[in-house]
Amino acid sequence: MIFWKLFVTFFKIGLFNFGGGYAMISFIQNEVVYKQAWLTTSEFTDVVAISQVTPGPVGINLATYTGYTAAHSVWGSVIATFAVCLPSFILMLLVSRYFLKYRHAPAVENVFKGLRPAVIGLIAAAALVLCNGENFVDYKSVLLFLAAFMAVGKFKVGPIAAISACGILGYFLY
């Protein structure tokens, strides 16, 4: 019975939640703390902190830990993790099937042409939010960004090498 409850709860979380792992936190808390009582509020706070420092998306890490705690077994983790990922997987299967069929349609091409600048704008907005200097812009970070951008774009340096180099330079700059 607990496995079925885990599946239904986390399938619902995966199906009706948009915005990524951090957007899922309050929805997961409502389900696992208040409705199902699988975790206390204090335990949930600890789980969120652990989920942030462990590799992987926060929402999936929360599902994995909650599944283990609720069922007292690894199968609870497996079921909760599978259930929270399943709606996205099904959606991607459906979208990719139709995308491959209609990718050359003018309407689809125009949508993607319109999305490109929007995505760049969202990334730029996130970068501005993360800038943290006394004068609003941290010039060291901007220089690191420009160096990485030039290295990847102009000199064809791999992104992992560029990120690693920026991390090392950042260590010495800060």
Mean pLDDT by 10 residues, the chain (174 residues): 93 82 80 90 86 86 92 94 93 84 86 82 64 62 88 90 89 87
10 and 74 belong to one structural domain: yes
pTM: 0.59
37 and 18 belong to one structural domain: yes
Last residue of a domain, one of 34, 67, 99: 99
Q: Check if the beta carbon of residue 144 is closer than 8 Å to that of residue 165.
A: no
Write 122-128 long-range contacts (CB < 8 A, 24+): none
113 and 43 belong to one structural domain: no
110 and 93 belong to one structural domain: no
Number of domains comprising the chain: 2
36 and 108 belong to one structural domain: no
Domain encompassing residue 54 = 2-99
